[in-house]
Copies of this chain bind each other. A is one copy, B any other.
Amino acid sequence: MAVNFPLITPGKLKPVPGLQLGYAQAGIKKPNRKDLLVMKLAPGATVAGVFTTNRFCAAPVQLAKTHLAQAAATGKSIAALVINTGNANAGTGDAGLVNAQATCDALGKLLGVHAEQVLPFSTGVILEPLPVDRLVAGLPQAIANLADTNWFNAAQAIMTTDTLPKAASRTVTIAGKKVTLTGISKGAGMIKPNMATMLGFVACDAKVPQPLLERMVKEAADASFNCITIDGDTSTNDSFMLVATGAGELEITSADSDEYQALAAAVSWLSQELAQLIVRDGEGATKFITIRIEQGRDADECRKIAYAIGHSPLVKTAFFASDPNLGRILAAIGYAGVADLDVSTIDLYLDDVWVAKQGGRNPEYKEEDGQRVMKQSEITVRVTLARGDAAATVWTCDLSHDYVSINADYRS
């Protein structure tokens, strides 16, 4: 099902010194599947994150933000992250906050840290009470198997409608010092992150002060998770967290340093890989589409147009059908909401094929050329606006029968 999804094996995921992972089958929604993950951090690790902008932001997201702020205010470091799948604990009102707090209390007690040193995350169905008793009962099992080699199990433990676990890993050498970065992500539907994705976690073993890490996570999110869309639905639980354990060789001291730039680039690269894995495994996806808007006045208008194309059900079904019904792309550009857009200067390319020229059909465009590109599993839509030098890229997938099937059946 997934589109050109790379082979990910446990052996490819490098341990990040200073971070251990433990998982459990807590039976939160269904029995006999990994649905609970604990990440334990070395003392002194720094953690920064970006979260959903959805006003119905989930209880664990609210609490994670509070705990991050308390950690910053009191100087206590974050000691653990706990993630459950099977229930989003969103749209659950005050009871949801009580349950998220109970989760942190229980894990804090088991690990011998304060509850506010724990960050909670949830993903799954919205508007249903979190079965917190089953979650808490699963924590000892997760703690019992804590190990730094569990990244693959961790990626499995946070899946919902994902068909494949999503993880990536790399090592870089910066100023002669080795840094290991490994991350996991999940999400296949309700994907149109706005400051963050459904769930993404990236860890590295460099030592990075809190303010620099906060800057780095925002940069990485904007270059990765904030550039993908599957169905235009921004989730209530989107969270993207960056952990710097400080257990490795490299220490970052300034945002102006070459070391910061190199590490930020590596983090962004890994985040982009994780974000694209989400699109490749998008619900029902059969095509991986890159939408590139160039020569705009500013990045915002480029993003508006890219998302209009990426969200259009008509464009997405045409990709599914490999049908070069490319007028639908022009229609989407036209209603994207760029009020003073002059369409007579717009060109449209499908990979190397020049489809529309100055707002109309390119006289040299041949249907069979469009057809050839539409049949590929990876396609780039490129639009040039001829009104500036800003650009934006969005990655998305097609809309297939399986998307409807998956979302008509997901909860029932």
Contact = CB atoms under 8 A, between A and B. Distances in A.
Interface of A: 53-57, 88, 90-96, 125-129, 189-190, 192, 194, 231-236, 311-314, 317-318, 320-321, 323, 325-328, 330-335, 338, 341-344, 355-356, 358-361, 399-401, 403-405, 407-412
Contacts of A328: 126, 190, 233
How many copies altogether? 2
A317 B406 CA distance: 9
Contacts of A194: 335
Nearest to A56: B334
B360 A92 contact: yes
A404 B402 CA distance: 10
Contact of A314 (B233, B318, B409): B233
A228 to B, nearest CB: 15
Nearest to A328: B126
Given A91-B361, A323-B408, A359-B93, A57 B334 contact: yes
Nearest to A371: B412
A325 B189 CA distance: 14
A311 B233 CA distance: 9
Given A54-B331, A90-B330, 9 more contacts: A56-B343, A57-B334, A95-B360, A126-B330, A128-B327, A235-B331, A317-B408, A325-B410, A401-B404
Nearest 7 pairs of A and B residues by beta carbon:
A93-B360, A126-B327, A56-B334, A127-B327, A321-B408, A234-B335, A317-B407
A131 to B, nearest CB: 14
Of listed A94, A333, A338, A410, residue having the most chain B CB within 10 A:
A410
Contacts of A232: 311-313
A231 B315 CA distance: 11
A343 B90 CA distance: 11
Contacts of A92: 360-361
